[in-house]
């Protein structure tokens, strides 16, 4: 799978400077604007867009896949930026890379999740035990969800219902990850 190639030997500058990036700066480069703070930004969240589709809102470079959302008390907007800018803006040259690595490992796990060997229980549920966490996908028998699929991760039921079991399996991964990761 194409996406898994990203998993090897990741580092920040490779991501932002990879050769297939077009260097057309459609967005302004805020580093050139003195009224935009250059330091003291706080990290809010990091998101994996699953493809390199975004433009860094700080420097204007394109093809960012992992977006670091940054806030500053003297700037009204939250900026979605690439790893290199996230480092410079926060002065933290460690955690932005680690956050990307974590998202990469999460994506790898997610891709393997469905193809895991799920066990079939006597009553037709699929279940897994991973790192001490039990995941069960089950079909609703009664009520307005009858026929649809749901899941349970340890004691917590998933919020939604799904038309087929594979959707429920994939959805259960996010809850598993949150539980495992504690965030």
Please give the residue ranges that form the binding site for Zn ion (CB under 5 A).
56, 58-59, 81-82, 85
**C-alpha–C-alpha distance, residues 12 and 16, integer Å:** 7
**Cα separation, 81 vs 47, whole angstroms:** 10
Q: CB nearer to Zn ion: give 81 or 168.
A: 81
Name the residue nearer to Zn ion (CB basis): 80 or 150.
Answer: 80
Give the nearer residue to Zn ion in terms of CB position, either 81 or 171.
81
Q: How far is the CB of 21 from Zn ion (least distance, A)?
A: 11
State in angstroms the smallest separation of the CB of 25 from Zn ion. Answer: 10
Lookup: tokens for 154 = 């340890």
CB of 151 to Zn ion, least distance (A): 38
| Measured CA distances, 91 to 36, 50, 67 (Å) | 15, 26, 17
Do 59 and 85 touch, CB atoms closer than 8 A?
yes
């Amino acid at each position: 799978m194409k996406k898994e190639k990203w998993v090897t030997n990741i580092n920040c500058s490779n991501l932002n400077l990879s050769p297939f990036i077009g260097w057309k700066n459609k967005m302004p480069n805020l580093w050139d604007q003195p009224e935009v703070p250059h330091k003291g930004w706080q990290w809010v969240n990091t998101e994996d867009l699953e493809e390199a589709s975004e433009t860094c809102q700080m420097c204007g470079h394109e093809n960012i896949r992992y977006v670091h959302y940054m806030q500053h008390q003297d700037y009204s907007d939250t900026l979605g930026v690439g790893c290199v800018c996230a480092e410079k803006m926060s002065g933290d040259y460690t955690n932005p890379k680690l956050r990307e690595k974590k998202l990469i490992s999460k994506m790898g796990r997610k891709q393997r999740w469905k193809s895991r060997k799920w066990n079939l229980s006597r009553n037709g549920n699929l279940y897994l035990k991973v790192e001490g966490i039990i995941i069960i996908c089950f079909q609703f028998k009664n009520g307005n969800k009858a026929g649809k699929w749901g899941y349970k991760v340890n004691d917590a039921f998933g919020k939604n219902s799904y038309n087929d079991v594979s959707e429920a399996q994939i959805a259960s991964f996010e809850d598993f990850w949150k539980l495992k990761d504690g965030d």
